């Protein structure tokens, strides 16, 4: 994984290229691609239209081996909830796997690149929602493992107050959903995530858990406040050297030094998350309270989701009930029972819907999940899930599966 943002995804922002074979095509008999939004190491992104509604289509080349997109589709479908883009469909067409999801607005990295810094108030309102969404996924036994500004996007139109977490390609279960026992702390072979925001333990290639997602939030927030992080721009010879240097610099940068000149709450956040144990249940509520108290009690401002970039027109689009003006510090924690039920439904669906087949050169067929007609069952990957970029036996409760939700 790269340190920092990937290649800009804007090679064709106007989307009018006549040579783009993916553009202006209908996928799954519904979604017509109308504009290329970008391209990354992962694949291509398009805006699509169906029934006067807009969607985001993420394309992944199926010829490249294991599918991160399939892992993403499975996990996002299972997680379905506030602050996670809604998955509409997942399937394949020709040489691409395609994930259809709710269309969002700009990422925090895009906004940051324009503004260079965020205010304390904006950073707190973002931090609050980051802790919320992480608690939501952690309660459902999932860790994200690639928390960074590019993977948070603002909602579009009436949802412009809300922050959403995306890019679940590297996400995975960290504990048994039945016993809640965490998987063992093992030494991995490589870093999973993005070096700039990765926790110290992740850079030491240790198995990640809830603490690592939260530690990354601390680095993301300090990146916004300071306008950068001390381990950016180090002189580096190779990829391995870069990881080593970033780790060394992170270790020698104390929370005091990192947060110097900013309210104590940020130093406390970084310190707390750095000191969490592997299996420790983080105190999400205490962390959220820090942000609310800093904005409202200490700085006497409103916690109103009016960000540095919010315009009058954004405010007009918001529905009154979409914003909780006095955020509750008692975020509803998922119950074990319902989580278990949801997990079972993820597992049982899989049996009826085999995984989409591997691509063959002559294969121009299209398959939407849930429709088995086109499925080539030559592969036996049905019981696999992508973990750290390799296929391992699925003893984690997830299944590679197909699903049409739309
Ligand atoms: N549903 C969406 N709506 C709008 N933009 C999106 C959506 N999903 C992703 N993006 C944009 O595309 C970028 C890359 O998407 P992401 O899922 O993070 O893929 P990658 O694996 O290439 O990082 C994001 O940083 C964001 O700017
Ligand atoms: Mg991403």
pLDDT tens per residue, range 177-207: 999 999 999 998 899 999 999 999 999 999 9
Per-residue pLDDT, 321: 56
What Cα–Cα distance (Å) separates residue 405 from each residue in 78, 88, 247? 11, 5, 42
Give the separation between CA 284 and CA 134, rounded to whole angstroms. Answer: 9
Would you say the CB of residue 85 lies under 6 angstroms from ligand 1? Answer: yes
For ligand 1, atom 13, name the residue with the nearest CA. Answer: 150
Does 151 sit in the ligand 1 pocket, CB within 6 Å?
yes
| Ligand 1 pocket mutation, candidates 166, 193, 196, 220, criterion most atoms within 8 A of CB | 166
Return the residue whose CA atom lies nearest to atom 26 of ligand 1. 107
Cα distance between residue 51 and residue 154, in whole Å: 23
From 221-230, 238-247, 272-281, 339-348, the region with the lowest mean pLDDT: 339-348
| pLDDT tens, residue by residue, 124-147 | 999 999 999 999 999 999 999 999
Which secondary-structure segment (H or E) carries 272? Answer: helix 264-274
Query: Which residue's CA lies nearest to atom 15 of ligand 1?
Result: 167
From the candidates 3, 110, 139, 146, give the one annotated as an active-site residue.
146
Contact predicate 344/78, CB 8 Å:
no
Asked if residue 162 lies in contact with residue 322, where contact means CB atoms within 8 angstroms, the answer is: yes
Would you place residue 338 in the very low, low, confident or very high pLDDT band (cuts 50, 70, 90)? very low
Supply angle C-alpha 388, 391, 396, rounded to 5.
Answer: 80
- What global pTM score does this model have? 0.81
- For the ranges 45-49, 332-336, 347-351, the one whose mean pLDDT is highest: 45-49
């Amino acid at each position: 994984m790269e340190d920092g943002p990937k290649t800009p995804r804007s090679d064709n922002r106007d989307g009018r290229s006549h040579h783009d074979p993916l553009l202006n095509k209908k996928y799954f008999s519904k979604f017509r691609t109308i504009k290329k939004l970008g391209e990354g190491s992962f694949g291509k992104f398009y805006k699509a239209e169906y029934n006067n509604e807009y969607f985001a289509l993420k394309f992944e080349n199926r010829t490249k081996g294991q599918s991160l997109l399939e892992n993403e589709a499975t996990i996002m479908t299972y997680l379905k909830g506030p602050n996670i883009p809604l998955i509409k469909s997942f399937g394949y067409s020709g040489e691409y796997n395609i994930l259809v999801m709710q269309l969002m607005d700009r990422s925090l990295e895009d906004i940051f690149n324009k503004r260079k810094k965020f205010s304390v108030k904006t950073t707190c309102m973002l931090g609050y929602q980051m802790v919320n969404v992480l608690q939501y996924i952690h309660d459902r036994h999932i860790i994200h493992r690639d928390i960074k500004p590019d993977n948070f996007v603002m909602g579009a139109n009436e949802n412009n107050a809300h922050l959403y977490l995306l890019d679940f390609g590297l996400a995975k279960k960290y504990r048994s959903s039945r016993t809640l026992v965490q998987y063992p702390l093992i030494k991995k072979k490589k870093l999973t995530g993005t070096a700039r925001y990765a926790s110290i333990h992740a850079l030491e290639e240790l198995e990640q858990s809830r603490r690592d997602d939260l530690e990354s939030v601390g680095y993301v927030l300090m990146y916004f406040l300071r306008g950068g992080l001390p381990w950016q721009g180090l002189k580096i010879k190779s990829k391995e050297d870069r990881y080593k240097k970033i780790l060394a610099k992170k270790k020698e940068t104390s929370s005091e030094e990192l947060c110097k000149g900013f309210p104590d709450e940020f130093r406390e956040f970084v310190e707390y998350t750095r000191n969490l144990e592997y299996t420790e249940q983080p105190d999400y509520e205490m962390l959220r309270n820090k942000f609310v108290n800093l904005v409202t009690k200490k700085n006497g401002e409103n916690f109103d989701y009016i960000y540095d970039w919010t315009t009058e027109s954004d405010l007009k689009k918001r529905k009154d009930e979409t914003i909780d003006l006095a955020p509750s510090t008692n975020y509803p924690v998922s119950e074990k029972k319902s989580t278990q039920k949801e997990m079972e439904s993820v597992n049982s669906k899989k049996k009826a819907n085999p995984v989409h087949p591997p691509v063959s050169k002559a294969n121009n067929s299209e398959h939407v999940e849930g429709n088995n007609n086109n499925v080539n069952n030559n592969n036996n990957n049905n019981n696999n899930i992508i973990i750290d970029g390799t296929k391992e036996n699925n003893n984690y409760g997830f299944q590679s599966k197909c699903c049409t939700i739309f």
